[in-house]
Structure 1
Amino acid sequence: MNISDIKIAKDTYWVGKIDNREVPFHRLILAKGTTYNSYLLKTGKPTVIDTVDMEFGREYADRMAELIDPLDIAYIVINHTEPDHSGGLAALAMRATNATIVCTEIAVPEIQEMYKLHSRNYLVVRDGDTLDIGGKTLLFKETPYLHTAETMITYCIEDKILYPCDIFSTHVAVEKLFSDEAGFDITEDFKGYYSAIIHPHRRYVRTLMEAVKDLEIDMIAPSHGFLIREDVRKYIDLYAELSRETTQGKKAAIVYTTIKNNTKKMAGILQATLQENGIEATVWDADKSDMNDIIESIEAADAVFIGSSTRYADMIGNLEPLLKELQLLNLKGKLAAAFGSYGWSGEAIEVIQDYLNGTNMTVQSTSDVIKSTGMTHVEFPIRVRFSPKEAEKTQKIKNAAEFVSDLLLSAI
């Protein structure tokens, strides 16, 4: 495919890279390969939107020079800093020395550190900001956690083209750039990409739906796979449908012991957050409740949270007999998480985690969250030093409860 021939709109060119290998990606193998889409808008202030994978950075910069003198590039928009989209930035920026990098505030230090671009000019954009690029106007919408915190989408007002980076993508090494020219229905590839990359962040699809609801979109130009210019609304609606909450009647059991009520407060925050998300949550003080009643609640629950304060490097109260009993039960299919407050090192929380790992429940861990979603703001076990009253600590607890809620309520 000759990049000089791929014009997707007036003064707008596809300048990406087709990778038709079996591509390792997010611990998957992309059997159909993938396409790294990048776009050049040759306006009065020439602008690049996203780049390609870092493996192809030099090739990308060389081919870009076929369409434009890199010194003429005024802006490079980075919607998402993951290297399969921003990876070509380093090579391009070495030549496009006059270009200002456009991104969200969170993205600036990431780009600076990843590509050693500390001395470059940055334009930080926020939700609803616009940028005149000389004949076209770009509108920016922040869409955090689709699928990392710094992500945004870009919309060209005059062309009615949405540049949503990972969102609305497909992992296909395309032979024809547009979905209507593919020769087959791309819906399953579209859904497959959503399931693998976006669905773990489905809570944030609501932000996306809000961001695009008033936009007149004639074309979706994502950063992987096919560009969509027919049945655009169908694909937007698919995201709304796939991310909806269809599972009802889910329950959680929250069991704790506490010294100064800090772990009790954590249990209350977990309960309130779960209930706000449609999960029926029951809280048990293990030192004041009958163990049989607690076990009955756990057996009826879909998610189980066990917490304790730490005293002398151990749990307190009646938790240990309960945890030993849980290891004898068949609790397969339930989600489990440890939590607790502490003043020094919080060993009790880790002891609970060890006990939970001895059951056949699916025990949540930070490692698994990162590997499955890339999220770094969700942490398991849930550890809070002293009181959970401070906003940052409260948010940590809420993040964990929301994550479990999303797992329970997933439509897929």
Structure 2
Amino acid sequence: MPKVWIEKLTEDMELYLIRVDDDQIKYFEAAWDIPEGITYNSYLLKLNDAVVLFDTVKKDYEDLFMDALKKLVDPKEITHIIVHHTEPDHSGALPRVLEENEYKAMVIGTQFARNLLEGFYGKKVVENFKVIKDGEEMKIGGKTFRFITVPWLHWPDTMITYLVEDKIIFSCDAGGGYSIPETIDDSSEEVVEKYLPYVTKYIVTVIGHYHKYIVENIRKLKELGIVKDVKMILPGHGLIWRRDPIRIFRHYEEVGAGRAEKGKVLVVYDSMYGFVEKRMDIVIDELKKHGMKPVIYKYTDKVAPAVSDILGEVPSAEAIVIGVSTYEADIHPRIRYLLYEIIDKANYEKPVLIVGAFGWGGGAGKKIESMITRSKFDHVMTVESKGAPSAEDEEKIRDAVRELIQRSLPTGNT
């Protein structure tokens, strides 16, 4: 049963979190394996003559959400609803809220948001819609609300709200992550360390296709001067950031830029009958000889890791090794799908080594090479041969690994 949190966030004003822990979901956006679950965060701010709701939750949980909301306010009293991002995990309960509000509230968002909401839920939800422009400010209940568009984080409709006097950023998907943290905020370093890998996984799978916009939009916020002095960042998923609020944006920047962890090499391969695995044992041995830290994922007749987990490893890798079988004169289907998603979601300037095995005829290595050379990745070498690796094959593989290390670390790590 999903847990619902209702927490007051500040002492000097009535700002509340309503968080629904979705422990039932298995595949985010029907695509990404997330056995760790996810939270949906909505916020309510009660002012002297206004009540502002920031986003809602997924429709599946609208009854739970409405029960929680009613513990804080009569829905008819809500005067403004700010929609930062219209994806239904944040807007799903909006029609229900407006219905119980008797459509009195002004709904605030971008022009894109208005168009999307009308397409999702019909004209009724946008009858009292206020379209904002980038940088526009509104006075609501004695507070200054500044609306800043951050398109492609990760839809064109996305914006954030900056509460000027209190230096609070409502950031929706920017700053979010997968999993259901055991606390609501970043007060525990242990919780944060456990949570951040899920943030990386979230960034790559959800925003990865547009990862260059992460760096651009955070730069924009910095230039506006609102990041330096921010007191609290309130995302639409996961932890609230108030002990060290800038930390989450730093993490987003690092992932967006593909900043590598020293020595980390992502090793991914399939092995139907052990021939590729024998080659990868050589690769891993050579990497370790040179002080590298291989992170290994393999597809065999016994294991099949989630693509979403592998994608989360790419940004911090210094280099990547792909081991592949030729399957029906093509790339093994597991690796083929993985590569498609890596190039789409995690396309960084990182060196890649391809190591392949085949039975009666090869080809997978060259097909991967063709894919890699059309991406930002730097193709180092393709080493592909028949059956079990010979002594000559082993020598070629070790040479190729050394070249990969040199390419990833210009000064060497030998």
Contact 2:57/2:65 (<8 A) preserved: yes
**Change over 3 Å in CA distance of 1:361–1:18 after alignment to 2:** closer
**Change over 3 Å in CA distance of 1:22–1:83 after alignment to 2:** closer
Alignment partners' CA distance in 1, 2:100 and 2:245 = 36
Which among 13, 35, 45 is matched to residue 39 of structure 2?
35
Higher strand share: 2
Q: Report Cα offsets for 1:173-200 as digits up to 9, x if no partner.
A: 2331012247432322222222222222
Which among 192, 206, 219 is matched to residue 201 of structure 2?
192
Contact 1:23/1:31 (<8 A) preserved: yes
Q: Report Cα offsets for 1:82-134 as digits up to 9, x if no partner.
A: 00011110110101221011110011121112122436200101110112111
- 1:11 equivalenced with 2:14 (yes/no): yes
Aligned residue identity for 2:8: I
1:238 offset after TM fit, Å?
2.2
Give the structure 2 partner of residue 223 of structure 1.
236
Unaligned runs of 5+ in 2: 261-320, 323-328, 346-372, 379-407, 409-414
Give the structure 2 partner of residue 398 of structure 1.
none
Give the structure 2 partner of residue 150 of structure 1.
157
Contact 1:8/1:14 (<8 A) preserved: no
1:2 offset after TM fit, Å?
6.7
Which among 247, 253, 259 is matched to residue 240 of structure 1?
253
**Change over 3 Å in CA distance of 1:34–1:360 after alignment to 2:** closer
- 1:57 equivalenced with 2:62 (yes/no): yes
1:5 offset after TM fit, Å?
4.1
Aligned residue identity for 2:105: A
**Change over 3 Å in CA distance of 1:5–1:210 after alignment to 2:** closer
Unaligned runs of 5+ in 1: 248-331, 334-357, 374-403
Give the structure 2 partner of residue 317 of structure 1.
none
**Change over 3 Å in CA distance of 1:22–1:114 after alignment to 2:** closer
Contact 1:21/1:32 (<8 A) preserved: no
1:165 offset after TM fit, Å?
0.7
Q: Report Cα offsets for 1:143-200 as digits up to 9, x if no partner.
A: 1111111111111112211111111112122331012247432322222222222222
**Change over 3 Å in CA distance of 1:172–1:372 after alignment to 2:** same
Q: Report Cα offsets for 1:234-282 as digits up to 9, x if no partner.
A: 32222222222779xxxxxxxxxxxxxxxxxxxxxxxxxxxxxxxxxxx
Once the two structures are overlaid, the 10-residue window that deviates more, 80-89 or 189-198, is 189-198
Q: 1:375-386 counterparts in 2 under 5 A?
A: none
Q: 1:181-330 counterparts in 2 under 5 A?
A: 181=188, 183-184=190-191, 185=193, 186-213=195-222, 214-215=225-226, 216-244=229-257
Aligned residue identity for 1:228: W
Aligned-residue sequence identity (percent) comes to: 27
1:54 offset after TM fit, Å?
1.2
**Change over 3 Å in CA distance of 1:70–1:405 after alignment to 2:** farther
Alignment partners' CA distance in 1, 2:25 and 2:93 = 20
SS of aligned partner of 1:221 = strand
Q: 1:95-106 counterparts in 2 under 5 A?
A: 95-96=100-101, 97-106=103-112
Give the structure 1 partner of residue 298 of structure 2.
none
SS of aligned partner of 2:111 = coil
SS of aligned partner of 1:16 = strand
Contact 1:46/1:73 (<8 A) preserved: yes
Aligned length: 270
Aligned residue identity for 2:60: E
Which among 92, 96, 121 is matched to residue 97 of structure 2?
92
**Change over 3 Å in CA distance of 1:232–1:204 after alignment to 2:** same
Contact 1:57/1:90 (<8 A) preserved: no
1:67 offset after TM fit, Å?
0.8
Alignment partners' CA distance in 2, 1:134 and 1:406 = 50
**Change over 3 Å in CA distance of 1:407–1:145 after alignment to 2:** farther
- 1:163 equivalenced with 2:165 (yes/no): no
- State TM-score, norm by structure 1: 0.59
Alignment partners' CA distance in 1, 2:186 and 2:332 = 42
Alignment partners' CA distance in 2, 1:405 and 1:150 = 30
What is the CA RMSD across the aligned residues, in angstroms?
3.3
Aligned residue identity for 2:250: D
Aligned residue identity for 2:238: G
Which among 108, 129, 132 is matched to residue 114 of structure 2?
108
Alignment partners' CA distance in 2, 1:168 and 1:124 = 24
- State TM-score, norm by structure 2: 0.58
Alignment partners' CA distance in 1, 2:141 and 2:174 = 27
